[in-house]
Amino acid sequence: MNRRSINAFYSFLLPLCLLFFMAGLAYAQDEFLLKHPREMNFPTLSFVPPKAERVLLSNGMVLYLLEDPELPLIQFSALIRTGSIYDPPQQSGLAKLTATLLRAGGTSDRTPQAINEELEFMAAELDFSMGRESGGASLSVQKKDFPRALSIFASLLLKPAFDPLQLDLAKKKKIEAIRRSNDNPEGIAYREFRRVLYEGNPRGQVPTVESIQSIKQADLLAFHRKFYKPNNMILGISGDFKKEEMIASLEGVFRGWERSLIEIPFIPIPSPRNKKMIYHAKKDLPQSTILMGHFSIPLDHPDYIPFKVLNFILGGGGFNSRLTQEIRSNQGLAYSVGSFYQGRVGYGVFGAFCQTKSATTHKVISLLYQMAEEIKNKNRPTPEELDWAQKTLVNQFIFSFTSSASIVSQQIQLEYDGLPEDYLEKYQARVAAVTLKDLERVAEKHLHPEKSLLMVVGKEEDFDKPLSSFGLVNRIELKKFN
């Protein structure tokens, strides 16, 4: 065979080989993509979160500092030991209004409009917030504008004016929101669920038109004086700064804001119920909103991680969890279904939720009870489910630290909750160490559908069976507003 024939042969053979190789590769890719997510194997992500440095200012304020010069930005996130649980009984909503007016109410030397214009000119974001068991503050600003933004931030904390006109506007907005609060069935369900679950405890307080109307400027000033103190605040700072310069700036701007005695009222931990409770709020709609749940274990409980994994398998893990697979995918009874577990300081809350058409309400409730009970005995978690939950939770962990600001936020939350300094470092190993016996134990000890609160919002006349088949039904009359 001459050279020309050989070249022609290889010119034909090489593209043919390449074609077969590409076809095989495409087949392998298709075969991989067609696999069920639980059958796919990926290497476990290894990640150790960076640590911010803890510093104590002379006035008792705790700082967490993490230098990150990648972008010319500086970000603050703060936690203040306060919350709406400290609202006076007849003034529910006071804490949230205080936080709202801290931002919107101006200071003794700056009007609300002047502050807004200055922050807008700098493209800075500054806000105050209020949760049930903590208050918050945040600031994001370019490095070049940081001194000006810090001055405003400090002024709002030290000498808020709580402008009466802004207070009146904020109250009107809140009252209008209360008047509209019965328009959303999901909002009704969660509001009434919390109110009944925390009955007798300040965590269950719900603002009313009357409680908001009763709040005066003097009440906001008193709430501010009581809780907004430097030694009652943890401030996390990340971005393009130098540690020594930042500490000097904060010592300077907060000079005169002295530490003082903090008298935080004692709020008892909610008491668990020892019986099943059923509540129904009538709403003339073609679908029902269902919530079922009970108190559970706190953040620092030895079974916190195993119970979190159990919840992930039952309904917290999205499309692959049991509740979604059975109620949504297999039976087509709902679009939104799942479970949640929130560990808090001193207690926790577990719950399951679903929205379904009125004619399948009883069936879905039966399935929620049944599947929560079965995971305890008849249909316990399998090795495959445990492996899937562990890998997912471990691999998801990295997404809690997408920026230096998120890293600092995590660390100040740890201190606020009283958790160990190395909690985040040990989290992945603790998840990976959970066994099937651990899941069986925590399901038996901490999952109690038979003692849960069931809250249903919907039109009972259209239900497939009456709610009374589950037990005594307590009726909730939703307030009507003019």
Same-domain status, 25 and 80: no
Nearest to 194 by CA among 185, 186, 203: 203
265 SS3 class? coil
Does 395 map to a domain?
yes
Same-domain status, 305 and 217: no
Does 203 map to a domain?
yes
Domain boundary at 185, 219, 253, which? 253
Does 268 map to a domain?
no
Banded model confidence at residue 481, pLDDT cuts 50, 70, 90:
confident
Q: Is the dihedral of CA 322, 365, 283, 473 positive or negative?
A: negative
Mean pLDDT for 454-460 is 97
Does 431 map to a domain?
yes
Domain boundary at 194, 219, 253, which? 253
DSSP 131: -
Write down the pLDDT at residue 218.
98
Same-domain status, 460 and 323: yes
Nearest to 106 by CA among 162, 170, 173: 162
Same-domain status, 281 and 420: yes
Same-domain status, 29 and 171: no
Mean pLDDT for 21-29 is 58
- In which domain, by residue range, is 354 found? 277-476
For β-strands 53-56 and 453-458, DSSP reports them as: unpaired
Mean pLDDT for 391-415 is 93
Mean pLDDT for 461-467 is 96
Counted domains in the chain: 3
Write down the pLDDT at residue 6.
47
Does 79 map to a domain?
yes
Same-domain status, 90 and 172: yes
Same-domain status, 104 and 142: yes
The rounded distance, in Å, linking the Cα atoms of 177 and 93 is: 12
pLDDT higher at 369 or 8? 369
Banded model confidence at residue 51, pLDDT cuts 50, 70, 90:
confident
Does 259 map to a domain?
no
Average pLDDT value for the chain = 92
What's the one-letter identity of residue 226? K
In CATH, what number is assigned to the domain containing residue 132? 3.30.830.10
Banded model confidence at residue 112, pLDDT cuts 50, 70, 90:
very high
Beta bridge partners of 456: 280, 290
Same-domain status, 179 and 137: yes
Write the pLDDT tens digit of every residue in 61-85: 999 999 999 999 999 999 999 999 9
Same-domain status, 64 and 194: yes
Judge if pTM exceeds 0.85: yes
The rounded distance, in Å, linking the Cα atoms of 437 and 129 is: 41
Banded model confidence at residue 369, pLDDT cuts 50, 70, 90:
very high
Write down the pLDDT at residue 46.
61
Does 265 map to a domain?
no
Same-domain status, 170 and 125: yes
Does 196 map to a domain?
yes
Same-domain status, 199 and 247: yes
Same-domain status, 240 and 343: no
Backbone angles phi, psi at 180, to 5 degrees: -95, 0
